[in-house]
Amino acid sequence: MNLSTLATEAEARNAPVRAGLIGAGKFGSMFLSQVPTIQGLEVSAIADLDVPRAKAACETVGWSPERIAATSFEEDGAALAARDDVDVVIEATGHPRAGIAHARAAIKAGKHIVMVNVEADVLVGPVLAAEARAAGVVYSMAYGDQPALVSEMVDWARSAGFSVAAAGKGTKYLLAYHSVTPDEVWAHYGLSPEDAAAAGMNPQMFNSFLDGTKSAIEMVAIANACGLNVPTDGLAFPPCGVDDLAHVLRPKEMGGHLEGRGMVETISSVERDGRPVFRDLRWGVYVVLEAPNDYAAACFRQYGLPTDDTGRFAAMYKPFHLIGLELSISVLSAALRREPTGQSREMRGTVAAVAKRDLKAGEILDGEGGYTVWGKAQPVSHAKDTLPIGLAQNVTLTCDVAQGSTLQMSDVTLADDPVVTLYRQALGD
C-alpha cells in the first residue's frame, strides 16, 4: 500500500525507476499513456521493429514532443536490455520466441523483467524465473493482465487462511469459436474489417481471444504461478454470472462443476445458445474461497459475503482489468520492492495445439489465433509429448492431422531448436 510513496521518494532522490519497453502495441501504448502522471517512473527507451510506429504511438497517447525527443528508440530489444539507462525491461511483443530471447538478455544484463508476453511465460516461465533469481533480479508477471490480478487474489486468500477452490476469469465463449479464423473474426466483435484496420487492430491477435487460445494461455499461467490444477479435459467455459460463482465453481461432489478443489477455469458470459448470462464477468477475474472451519463460514454469512447453499464457499471478483493502464504497478514493485506481481513457479499445465481443420503434411502452422490451430489447456501429466501452441508457428507438418486432433511434437520439424530444450527443461524432462 506504499508503492506510490516509494516512487515519490525515488523521484525526490532524483533516482526514478527507468523502464525500457519492448513492443509499442496496444498493451505498451496503454502503459505509455500513464507514464507522464506517475512520479518516480520514466521510460528511457522504447524498442520496436517499426520505430516510426512506436513514435506515433507516443504521440497518440499524448506524449509531448519534448518527452518523445528525450526518449531513445531502437529496433533491437536485446540492445535495449543492455542499456545502462534501463532498470526494468518490459517485454510486450506477444511473440514467444522473441520474448524468451529478450527476457534472457535482460537477466544477463542484470535488469528486472516484467513479462507481458504470457505466450513466452507458459512455455518456459519457471526456467526464466529461476535464472532471474540466480542473477539477483526480479522476473514478474504484468499487473493489469488477468494472470497477475488473479495471482494477487489467490495470494490474498491464502494469506488470510482460506483455501482456493477455483480461480480464473471471464470471457465470451461458444464451442464454434474454436474453428474461427482471422478472416471471420470481426463479425464476432461487431466490427467491419475496414473499421478494425483503421483502429490498428490485429485480426490474428483478436482471434486468439475468441477461439479459446488466449484463455488457455492465461489459465495455465495462473496455474503455474499459483500451484493450481488445470482441468484434465481442458477448460469447460461454463456459463456463469457473478452471483453464481460460488455455486458453479466448487467440486462436483458438492454440486458444482469442478473435478476437484484448487482448479483454474474460465467462465462464459453467454449461455450455450448465445443468450447473455445475467451479471456476467466477461472482462473480470475471480477467486472462489472455501472456509477452513464452521466459525469462518458463519462469519461469511454474518458479514454479508454471498455464499453457496452450504455456506462454506464464497466468491470474490473484480469486474474489469485495465491491462497496460495498470502495468506500472509491476515495474515499480520490481524496482522498489524487488517483488514480482505474480511469477511462474512450476509447470502445472501447458497449452496444446489442436487442429482447426484437417491439416496436410507440408503445411506450415501459423500459431496462436491463426488459420491452422487453437490452444487447449492441459495438465502437464497429460500433455508432455504434445506440441505447445508457442512452438506451433512457422513450423512444417511432417504428417496429416485430422481436425480436432491434438498435435504431437513429432508431427512437426523442430530440429536443434533451443526453445524446445528450454521447454523440456521447464517440464523437468
Element spanning 156, H or E: helix 146-159
pLDDT (tens digit per residue) in 50-64: 999 999 999 999 999
C-alpha gyration radius of the chain: 21
- Please say whether the beta carbons of 170 and 239 come within 8 A: no
Per-residue confidence (pLDDT) for residue 197, from 0 to 100: 81
String of DSSP letters for 102-137:
HHHHHHHTT-EEEE--HHHHHHHHHHHHHHHHHHT-
Give the three cell numbers for residue 7: 516512487
41: DSSP letter: E
- Please say whether the beta carbons of 340 and 334 come within 8 A: yes
Distance (Å, whole) CA 227 – CA 63: 41
Instruction: Using alpha carbons, select from 146, 27, 36 the residue that is nearest to residue 90.
Output: 27
Model confidence band, residue 198 (pLDDT cutoffs 50, 70, 90): confident
Model confidence band, residue 111 (pLDDT cutoffs 50, 70, 90): very high
Instruction: Using alpha carbons, select from 217, 197, 200, 199 the residue that is nearest to residue 209.
Output: 217
Distance (Å, whole) CA 245 – CA 237: 12
Where along the chain do its domains lie? 3-144+326-337, 147-173+212-320, 350-427
pLDDT at 384 over 80: no
Share of the chain above pLDDT 90, in %: 91
pLDDT at 1 over 80: no
Pairing of strands 364-366, 393-396: antiparallel
Residues 3-144+326-337, CATH architecture:
3-Layer(aba) Sandwich (3.40)
Calculate the alpha carbon distances from 280 to 142, 266, 271, 329, 380 in Å. 24, 12, 10, 27, 30
Q: Calculate the CA dihedral of residues 67, 69, 75, 81 and round it to 10 degrees.
A: -60
Ramachandran bin of 23, using left for φ above 0, alpha for ψ from -120 to 50, beta for the remaining angles:
left
Per-residue confidence (pLDDT) for residue 10, from 0 to 100: 96
Distance (Å, whole) CA 312 – CA 301: 9
Q: Which fold has domain 350-427?
A: Type Iii Antifreeze Protein Isoform Hplc 12 (3.90.1210)
pLDDT (tens digit per residue) in 233-264: 999 999 999 999 999 999 999 999 999 999 99
- Please say whether the beta carbons of 89 and 102 come within 8 A: yes
Give the three cell numbers for residue 29: 501504448
User: How many CA atoms lie less than 13 Å away from 208 in the CB half-sphere?
Assistant: 24
Section 67-89 average pLDDT: 97
For residues 168-193, one letter each, b for 16 or more C-beta atoms within 10 angstroms of the residue's C-beta and e for the rest, the string is bbbbbbbeebbebbbeebbebbebee
231: DSSP letter: P
Give the three cell numbers for residue 342: 505474480
What global pTM score does this model have? Answer: 0.96
Residue 429 burial (C-beta neighbours within 10 Å; 0-12, 13-18, 19+): exposed
pLDDT (tens digit per residue) in 263-278: 999 999 999 999 999 9
Strand partners, 378: 350
Element spanning 73, H or E: strand 72-74
Give the three cell numbers for residue 240: 456463469
- Please say whether the beta carbons of 282 and 170 come within 8 A: yes
Give the three cell numbers for residue 223: 496455474
**Fold equal for 3-144+326-337 and 350-427:** no
User: How many CA atoms lie less than 13 Å away from 341 in the CB half-sphere?
Assistant: 26
Instruction: Using alpha carbons, select from 140, 185, 143 the residue that is nearest to residue 31.
Output: 143
Instruction: Using alpha carbons, select from 309, 304, 245 the residue that is nearest to residue 277.
Output: 245
CA-based torsion, 203, 207, 213, 216: positive or negative: positive
Provide the 3-class DSSP secondary structure of residue 197.
helix
43: DSSP letter: E
Which single residue is written with the C-alpha cell 480436432? 404
pLDDT at 316 over 80: yes
- Please say whether the beta carbons of 43 and 111 come within 8 A: no
pLDDT (tens digit per residue) in 147-188: 999 999 999 999 999 999 999 999 999 999 999 999 999 999
